[in-house]
Amino acid sequence: LARAPEPRVLAADEPTTGLDGVSAERVVRALKEQAVSGNTAVVASLHQPSSKIWLKHIDAVVLLAPGGTVAYAGSTEDVPLFVKRITGEALPPYTNPAEWLLEIVTDKSMVEKLAEASLVEPPASDDQSRALRPPKRAPLLQRISLLFGRARRQVLRDGRVHALRLFATAGLGAVLGRRYRGDGNILSVDGCADRVAMLSFAAISTAVLGVTRSLDLFAKERPVVARETERGSYGGAEYVLAKALAELPLDAFFAALMGWGLHFSTPGGLRSRPAGALAVGAGAA
């Protein structure tokens, strides 16, 4: 979903952690090549990149102080002049700029000055503004199609859950059919009450089994859905519609299985005279 709108974005969380200097430079160089050749916006979090990585492969930087305060956001070429103009601290010769900046942001007074200056800096140029604008959302049908595909894959992956639900639905249908089976093909007053109770419990049980699975899955999906809706990838109505379309066939299958179990567990079936209209009405309810 994050790659559906243009431009494409590649996010890398600490890709050089635990690597030696040579390996780290190779990883960052590969990311830079992907950005150039693939027209991809690459965003990576790096801790103490080497001077070679800083000078050759990083185009822009967001400098975060402890606590998440943005001390600088802009071109890597401009950051030494910016820091010197605001704090008076100059980059010493033969010093890794990344390490020097980390020392700068450990000073709270300097961080406050840099943060205030970052807020009052002149706005970016038109080209920079266009580059910083969030990407447009994909068309509505494409968003729903992508959400539907993801929801369908989730449904297909839950094989064990579906197997348990299959046995629970079939068994529950047989138990309810035996418990509220009535007296035979011709319904009495008591038999009619039994059929109403049977259909009511069946409808409630079928709904609860489906809702329980959906609630459990949504608890796992909630952080992802919240993040994606917050950045405007899609809306809540689109998510609900795609989930409903993906899960409706399976829910209909289990509902039909429940009805099949009730039918063959009840003498004369659910359409016993004169309960056909009653069964159809209760089932629809």
* Structure confidence at residue 283 as a pLDDT band (50, 70, 90): very low
* Structure confidence at residue 98 as a pLDDT band (50, 70, 90): confident
Residue 72 in contact with residue 113, Cβ under 8 Å? no
Closest listed residue to residue 147, CA positions, set 247, 10, 231: 247
Average pLDDT, the chain: 75
- Quote the radius of gyration of the chain (alpha carbons, Å): 31
The pair of structure tokens assigned to 61 is 């930087």
Of residues 165 and 148, which shows the higher confidence score? 148
User: So what's the pLDDT on residue 82?
Assistant: 85
- Cα–Cα distance measured from residue 156 to residue 246, given in angstroms and rounded to the nearest whole number: 10
Burial (0-12, 13-18, 19+ Cβ within 10 Å), 243:
buried
Other CB atoms within 10 A of residue 52 CB = 15
User: So what's the pLDDT on residue 270?
Assistant: 57
The pair of structure tokens assigned to 155 is 């449904």
User: So what's the pLDDT on residue 130?
Assistant: 47
- Cα–Cα distance measured from residue 261 to residue 166, given in angstroms and rounded to the nearest whole number: 11
DSSP assigned state of 105 = T
- Give pLDDT tens digits for 200-226: 777 787 777 777 777 777 777 888 888
Query: What average pLDDT score do residues 146-161 get?
Result: 83
- Give pLDDT tens digits for 35-68: 877 778 888 888 778 888 888 888 888 888 877 7
Residue 155 in contact with residue 250, Cβ under 8 Å? yes
* Structure confidence at residue 75 as a pLDDT band (50, 70, 90): confident
Measured in Å, how far apart are the chain's first and last C-alpha atoms? 37
- Cα–Cα distance measured from residue 218 to residue 99, given in angstroms and rounded to the nearest whole number: 43
Of residues 103 and 279, which shows the higher confidence score? 103
Of residues 143 and 285, which shows the higher confidence score? 143
Closest listed residue to residue 87, CA positions, set 59, 116, 58, 61: 116
- Beta-strand pair 60-64/40-45: unpaired
Q: According to DSSP H, which parts of 95-183 are helical? A: 97-104, 108-120, 126-132, 140-157, 159-179
Give the lowest-confidence range in 78-87, 173-182, 190-199, 275-284: 275-284
- Cα–Cα distance measured from residue 158 to residue 153, given in angstroms and rounded to the nearest whole number: 9
- Cα–Cα distance measured from residue 232 to residue 74, given in angstroms and rounded to the nearest whole number: 24
Closest listed residue to residue 204, CA positions, set 277, 255, 280: 255
Of residues 133 and 212, which shows the higher confidence score? 212
